[in-house]
Structure 1
Amino acid sequence: MDRGRQGWCRHFTRGEFHVRVSAVLVSLAVVAGVGQPVAAAQLPSPNTCAGNDTSCVHAWGMGGNGALGDGKAQSRLYPEPVPNLPGITGIGGGLSAEIVAVHADGTVFAWGSAGLVMPGGQQRNTPLQVPALSNIIEVEAGYKNALALKSDGTVWSWGDGSRGQIGDGQEYGEGGTNVPQQVVGLTGVVDIASGDSNGYALKSDGTVWAWGENKRSQLGNGVVCQDCYSNVPVQVAGLTGVRSVSEDGFALKVDGTVWTWGANASGMLGIGEPSSTFRAASPIQVSTLSDVVEINGCGQNRYTRKSDGTVWSWGPNNSGQIGNGTLYGFQRAPAQVSISDARGLGCGEAYNGYAITADGSLWSWGSNIYGQLGVATSDPRSTVPVKISGLSGVSKVSGHYFGALALVPAP
């Protein structure tokens, strides 16, 4: 899932530029009418999803973009269930608050603000089934885009197609499609990720394939260009033995090493390189990390979990999203987050990190402009992880644009 569109300048607002303007985001959002900043409130009694046969989705944060899925526009400090959505096995949120969820029966539901991802092309504040999709086992959301992985190893894409993000070999100009299309030339796919106008797929042979935008070398195929993209998948150069992939240019190998490629804005490559104009056209190793078992990327921040339960992060720190008690500046090499015994990771497009601990509880850190932390406080941020009350047995977490989602078992 990623950020920055419509031109070169827009991309860099997700990094250094946002450090300078983040103080104005609240007032801008209110003027734009996208929601109201949160205020302190009493935490309600724990919510349940009675009648759900497997798992249910809890949502919190901004409400004006439809991301809460409850038909209301009010932002919310604490998690509550998305109504009438039982049996969910996977979730994904994107930069434009496009939300996708996969049901145990292989169908997909969508809600939120990105019209092209929604059935009918309009913002949805309640879930609606995406037509023409079945046998889906994984979903991901990007910027006005979504991806779905079928059980047969094929990948399907829909949303904005202006920079080749659909991956079907077609040119969409300034538009796209809200009807899922098969990404061409991909079979045997076992993992997917959606990024800044990009799609990524990991095949069963351990190779990674990418399509979409490449002006920051996020395709990882060794090509450097100022204004180019690919509307079909290309192989990420020299990368084999991969276990999982995340946005944008972020991969974990089976040997526990971590590899990144693309732009280094705000230190997002994690290699300690001080120049934000440096770019890696093909993967390079984050040499200070080993024994990593999980990765997650959002915007220009990167998060990793080691086998010992520690979490490590890097990138911009304008809202404390590094999670080690510091604020501002750029963390250009991995730093340890102030949490232990982590068993799952998530991150948000608006400067947030999330961790699931071994007891099934959920912890959050970073920005809280619209209640992304999921705790009953009006504090604008937390530079260290805080526990989200009222949730237990959390299995998955996904952040998005000023909000988050958690997957929990039904009672």
Structure 2
Amino acid sequence: MKKILLLALLLVASKNHAQECVDRVVCSDNSVTVYLLDGNTLTWGQNQFGQLGNGTTVATISPTPTVNADQWASVSHARMHTIALDHDGNLWSWGNNDVGQLGNNSTASYSYVPVSTGSGSDWIEISGGNLHSIGKKADGTLWGWGNNGAYELIMNGENFYANPFQISPDTDWNKIYAGYFKTFAIKYDGTLWGRGRNNLGDVGIGSTVWVPFFTQIGTANNWTKISAARCNSSFGLRSDNTLWAWGINENGRLGDGTVINRTAPVQIPGQWKDIASGNFHTIGIKTDGTLWQWGSYGWFDGGIPIPITNVPVQVGTDSDWKSVSAGYCSSYAIKENNSLWSWGYNGGGWLGDGTTVSNYTPEMIMGCTQMSSSDWLSGALTVYPNPTRDIVKWNTTETMSTFRIVNALGQTVKSGDARSGELHVSDLTEGIYVIVLESSSGKTQQTKFIKQ
């Protein structure tokens, strides 16, 4: 019986260990999707228009499997709607649809589940903005649908479009970004182009005149990434790792040391490898792997953003950060070990930690605890009884000082002093967990156990 149980546990471990490792994270105002290294996706957050696509309007405060979790090659959360590409190049959408932003030839107010746009299977890139969506096809053409009241799609057209249509005759578009009533795109030659609402200079052409057609922004030809999905601030990275910002600068969210709006890109000091803009704050990672933030720090207390800084301020001392994403007042970052961390305002459970408690500093919500079957056979760590209801004890090759208990989603659910050699787990829900023990020298041992 023990051999059968051990074999079953090993099979579960080999199936689930990759699910704890995060590849990338995308978010909108308050909806989040995480891509796992095993190809599956998890989602949580705001859902009043069905933007999570799970058939309900119920918000979730913990990562839950996305509908058809292994189907999605790309997901983009807009303000209140979501668009996605499956692995066959088909375009899907769900959530709010009052101005046709789902692109399914309808202006029905919403869809709680993914609906096909029926617009071909040659889509390769998508981006959701405030009330509009854009996509790129395999032939390099750029398409759009949804709101057009600010020229974010075309000049002299309708106020909105319920079907994807080509919004530029050019076929050399490389990367695309739908922003807040504006659209940006980078061509294969590295030049940056933009259009749409520009009353605060957030298109970046040097004025506050609205831009009804794609216009080149400056003369640089080494742009690599744009972040402009929130409010009226825009940020861009260049291939030389320089960071540039323009648009509204309320609360110092541009990070240039002032609160002056900028109508053209201004350089932010430092060497950067990733950037993400929220509604009131900005986060970035420098090339040395350190994490920085500025603006209002991304969360509210009594309706007031706190604290405020108009220059980048380092977050902690770690230097192993890999990528960032920003929500309305929340922040997300992935480390080189593929663990996911979140911080900021959490009034609706948007941080994904299972609570509604806001955090100033990053806390890990998904780890990347990987273990092969050899760990079970080596005898390096033995836990008993296994399965257990109340208590777990362990035998190790050396004295351990701390422990972590990690659930199947990679979330640390319990931690503390390990020197007693045992742990009460009666408060854990039924399931499979990983126990990670660390010695004073920094060495770790880990194994899995079943909580009944």
Q: Shared fold (TM-score greater than 0.5)?
A: yes
Q: CA deviation at 1:181?
A: 1.8
Cα pair distance change 1:204/1:133, threshold 3 Å: same
In structure 2, relative to structure 1, the CA distance for the partners of 1:100 and 1:47 (3 Å cut) is: farther
Give CA deviations for 1:236-283 in whole Å, capped at 9, x if unaligned: 12333112122142110111100111221221221011x3xx222211
How far, CA to CA, are the matches of 2:204 and 2:37 in structure 1?
A: 41
**Aligned mate of 2:227, from 236, 246, 262:** 246
Matches of 1:162 and 1:178, distance apart in 2: 13
- Count of residue correspondences: 329
Instruction: Calculate the TM-score normalised by the size of structure 2.
Output: 0.67
Does the aligned pair in 2 maintain the 1:133–1:180 contact within 8 Å?
no
Once the two structures are superposed, what CA deviation does each residue of 1:128-167 show, in whole Å capped at 9, x if it has no partner? 122324322221111111111223222211111111011x
Let me know the Cα RMSD of the aligned residues.
2.7
User: For the residues of structure 2 that align with 1:79 and 1:391, how far apart are their CA atoms?
Assistant: 15
Q: Measure the CA separation in 1 of the matches of 2:322 and 2:250.
A: 29
Q: Which residue of 2 aligns with 1:281?
A: 263
Conservation of the 8 A alpha-carbon contact between 1:54 and 1:87: no
Query: Counterpart of 2:152 in 1: which secondary structure?
Result: coil
Measured in 2, the distance between the counterparts of 1:222 and 1:187 equals 26
Residue 325 of structure 2, aligned match among 343, 346, 356:
346
The aligned residue for residue 383 of structure 1 is 360
Match of 1:396 in 2: none
Aligned equivalents of 1:305 and 1:53: distance in 2? 21
Instruction: Report the Cα offset of residue 391 of structure 1.
Output: 7.4
8 A Cα contact 1:140 1:194, kept in partner: yes
Q: Distance in 2 between matches of 1:314 and 1:361?
A: 23
Shift of 1:306: 2.1
For residue 134 of structure 2, the aligned residue among 130, 136, 147 is: 147
Distance 1:124-1:113 versus aligned 2 partners, 3 A rule: same
> Counterparts of 1:258-297 in structure 2 under 5 Å?
258-273=243-258, 275=259, 278-287=260-269, 289-290=270-271, 292-297=272-277
Q: Summarize deviations over 1:304-325 as a string: whole Å, max 9, x none.
A: 222222222222236179xxxx
Residue 54 of structure 1 and its aligned partner are, at CA, apart by: 6.9
Structure 1 residue aligned with 2:350, among 343, 347, 372?
372
Hey, what's the Cα distance between the residues in 2 that align with 1:377 and 1:391? Answer: 21
Compared CA separation, residues 133 and 299, structure 1 to 2 (3 A): farther
- Distance in 1 between residues matched to 2:82 and 2:220, nearest whole Å: 30
Question: Which protein has the larger Cα radius of gyration, Structure 1 or Structure 2?
Answer: 2
State the partner residue of 1:169.
155
What pairs with 1:326-337 in structure 2 (closer than 5 Å)? 328-337=306-315
Q: Secondary structure at the match of 1:354?
A: strand
Q: Would the alpha carbon gap of residues 340 and 113 (structure 1) be closer, same or farther in structure 2, given more than 3 Å must change?
A: farther
Higher relative strand content: 2
Distance 1:266 1:56 in 2: 37
Provide the rounded CA distance (Å) in 2 between the counterparts of 1:46 and 1:53. Answer: 10
Secondary structure of 1:171 counterpart: coil
Q: Structure 2: where are the runs of 5+ without partners? A: 1-15, 21-35, 371-408, 410-452
Higher deviation after alignment, 136-145 or 198-207: 136-145
1:47 to partner: Cα distance: 12
Identical-pair percentage: 27
Contact 2:52 2:82 (8 Å CA) reproduced: no
1:132 to 102, 112, 119: 119
Higher RCO, Cα 8 Å, sep 6+: 1
1:7-18 alignment, distance < 5 Å: none
User: Shift in Å at residue 203 of structure 1?
Assistant: 0.9
Q: Given that residues 321 and 336 in structure 2 are in contact (C-alpha distance below 8 angstroms), is that contact kept between their aligned partners in structure 1?
A: yes
1:224 alignment partner AA: T
User: 2:298 & 2:325 partners in 1: Cα distance?
Assistant: 18
State the alpha-carbon separation in 2 of the partners of residues 197 and 342 from structure 1.
31
Asked whether 1:157 is paired with 2:138, we answer: no
- Distance in 2, matches of 1:152 and 1:317, equals 41
| Preserved contact between residue 263 and residue 280 of structure 1 (Cα < 8 Å) | yes
Task: Verify: 1:104 aligned to 2:87, yes or no.
Answer: yes
The residue that corresponds to 2:291 in the other structure is 311
Q: Say if 2:338 and 2:367, in contact at 8 Å, map to a contact too.
A: no
> Which whole-Å CA distance do the structure 2 matches of 1:294 and 1:114 have between them?
31
Instruction: State the alpha-carbon separation in 1 of the partners of residues 323 and 97 from structure 2.
Output: 27
Q: Structure 1: which 5+ residue stretches go unaligned? A: 1-44, 322-326, 394-405, 407-411
Judge which range, 54-63 or 153-162, deviates more: 54-63
User: Matches of 1:333 and 1:73 in 2, distance apart?
Assistant: 38
Letter in 2 for 1:377: T
Distance 1:178 1:242 in 2: 31
* TM-score of the two chains, using structure 1 as the length reference: 0.74
The question of whether the paired residues in 2 share the 8 Å contact of 1:53 and 1:86 is answered with no
Amino acid of the structure 2 residue aligned with 1:268: R
Letter in 2 for 1:387: M
